[in-house]
Amino acid sequence: MHIIRQYQVPLQKYMAMMDLQESNEKLFYKLLIDNVEEMLPIVYTPTVGEACQKYGSIFGRPQGLYISLKEKGCIHEVLRNWPEKNIEVIVVTDGERILGLGDLGCQGMGIPVGKLALYTALGGVRPSACLPVTIDVGTNNENLLNDEYYIGLRQRRATGQEYAELLHEFMSAVKQTYGEKVLIQFEDFANHNAFDLLAKYSTTHLVFNDDIQGTASVVLAGLVAALKVVGGTLADHTFLFLGAGEAGTGIAELIALEISKQTNMPVEETRKKVWLVDSKGLIVSSRRESLQHFKKPWAHEHEPVKTLLDAVNDIKPTVLIGTSGVGKTFTKEVIEAMASFNEKPIILSLSNPTSQSECTAEEAYTWSQGRAIFASGSPFAPFEYEGKTFMPGQANNAYIFPGLGLGLIMSGAIRVHDDMLLAASEALAAQVTQENFDQGLIYPPFKNIRKISAEIAAKVAAKAYELGLATRVPPPRDLVKHAESCMYSPAYRSYR
């Protein structure tokens, strides 16, 4: 840590940590686990975003497995070349929508590598059981295509049948190589593939889309926790999203599902509590024909509304959630409007990295005169406003996927079910203490994350057994203890 702390530039710290991961894996995890709040912004958002943008020019040695169009027909053999045979979790991207940064082609590899480092550090999955994969079907990013240091195929993205066939071969090869209990986490695919891949493979594979489902679970947890401060039930609230892609519609659907479970109202009804704004304005019924399929359930009866500010003033949401991937979109007027009709407006600015955040912590607190309950996808430093220090929480799927994954693995689950996401949310929300609330937090601090992950894993595993989706029998008696006992810890073995 003494060495790492001497680097002033976050990207240099990132490079030093990646070198360490290669040269002394145990020490890498020891540092990450013992200094999680300090190191998370380095190995994860926001620095990992910059690392992906510059991946080619900081490239030292390969991490993870690249599968390109050229490997078509022999993906099974490529997987078998990976030295570890006992794989339990794969995080795979095709790099088309890396965080809110867009198409970074196969430089997106930083994301599967970073997510899997968190699987180990935060969720205790053994490092050797983790496989980062990047599918290289080209990139439409002209800058990268012209960059002499670009590490991927220099062609525009394959689409349609060519794309679907490569993905299908990959999915089949994974099952053939590692069996049906390997967890495949889809990460940072573009909207136009993410929903379809999840729908297509969720009935045959143990798959989970982190951007749709992981983000939904973490945000629902924050909202459930926030109710203790703002009062009422979820059904008493009105939700407005800026951004109707994977995260926006994923969160919206999980909120509607939870309200439906709580009220016994059909989900078609509870969806009406939730409104979404995309780049063309409020999603309303008159736009239905031209909407992508994942937006259609949110096309409620309403006059057309063009801007976010007009939508805020019309809908009067109690909760405003940014999932647009576009920074600075929660303007002063928007936050002031939220604060004008809410005593404690809930404002979640989820886009990553920090540059894409819809607003900063400082803006949310200042423009709401210190009344906002604020959390963001990327971390913000504590902010002092009129003598009070506010701790912005980090509403990031990193709270959920490591524990969820551990729960799936330890129960031998064969499918991911929405009720597991709800169970994970509930487990996370239950970890927020009065002391956290007093500081303005709706999430527990990351420093307790391994304990939190064990709680989440236990609840997810319990749900898997309850739903008949778990294969590891008999179920352990104490699931939390069992989760803790399964966790990798970075200790050197003693010499004999």
> CB of residue 248 vs ligand OAA: minimum separation in angstroms?
12
Burial class (CB in 10 A: 0-12, 13-18, 19+), 386: exposed
Residue 396 labeled ligand binder: yes
Residue 97 labeled ligand binder: yes
> CB of residue 187 vs Mg ion: minimum separation in angstroms?
5
In the 8-state DSSP scheme, what is residue 31? H
Is 215 or 342 the residue whose CB approaches Mg ion more closely? 215
> CB of residue 374 vs ligand OAA: minimum separation in angstroms?
17
The CA-CA-CA angle for residues 253, 228, 231, to 5°, reads: 80
Choosing from 14, 29, 30, 44, the catalytic residue is 44
Question: What does 360 bind: ligand OAA, Mg ion, none (CB cut-off 5 to 8 Å by kind)?
Answer: none
> CB of residue 107 vs Mg ion: minimum separation in angstroms?
15
Site string for ligand OAA, 198-217 (x = CB under 6 A): ------------xx------
Question: What does 409 bind: Mg ion, ligand OAA, none (CB cut-off 5 to 8 Å by kind)?
Answer: none
Query: If binding is defined by CB under 6 A, does position 93 make contact with ligand OAA?
Result: no
Kindly tell me which residue out of 329, 360, 376, 396 binds ligand OAA, with binding defined by CB under 6 A: 396
Residue 211 labeled ligand binder: yes
Give dist(CA 101, CA 54) in Å, integer: 12
Residue 310 labeled ligand binder: no
Per-residue DSSP letters for 72-138?
TT-HHHHHHHSS-----EEEEE-SSS-TTS---GGGGGHHHHHHHHHHHHHH---GGGEEEEEEE--
- Tokens found for residue 50: 């910059």
The answer to whether the CB of 282 falls within 8 A of the CB of 311 is: yes
The answer to whether the CB of 16 falls within 8 A of the CB of 3 is: yes
Query: If binding is defined by CB under 6 A, does position 134 make contact with ligand OAA?
Result: no
Site string for ligand OAA, 157-196 (x = CB under 6 A): -------------------------------x--------
* Known catalytic membership, residue 44: yes
* Known catalytic membership, residue 175: no
Kindly tell me which residue out of 397, 411, 431, 453 binds ligand OAA, with binding defined by CB under 6 A: 397
Give dist(CA 91, CA 115) in Å, integer: 7
10: left (phi over 0), alpha (psi -120 to 50) or beta: alpha
Question: What does 352 bind: ligand OAA, Mg ion, none (CB cut-off 5 to 8 Å by kind)?
Answer: ligand OAA
Q: Are strands 281-282 and 65-68 parallel, antiparallel or unpaired?
A: unpaired
- Tokens found for residue 96: 């088309």
> CB of residue 51 vs ligand OAA: minimum separation in angstroms?
12
Give dist(CA 161, CA 165) in Å, integer: 6
Question: What does 213 bind: Mg ion, ligand OAA, none (CB cut-off 5 to 8 Å by kind)?
Answer: none
Choosing from 13, 30, 54, 115, the catalytic residue is 115
Query: If binding is defined by CB under 6 A, does position 354 make contact with ligand OAA?
Result: no
Sheet of strand 89-93, all strands in order from the earlier edge strand to the far edge: 65-68, 130-136, 89-93, 183-186, 207-209
Which amino acid is residue 468, in one-letter code?
G
Is 284 or 348 the residue whose CB approaches ligand OAA more closely? 348
User: Residues forming the annotated binding site for (S)-malate?
Assistant: 97, 352, 396
User: Residues forming the annotated binding site for a divalent metal cation?
Assistant: 187-188, 211
Q: Which amino acids are annotated catalytic?
A: 44, 115
- Give contact residues for ligand OAA (rule: CB under 6 A): 45, 99, 188, 210-211, 352, 377, 396-397
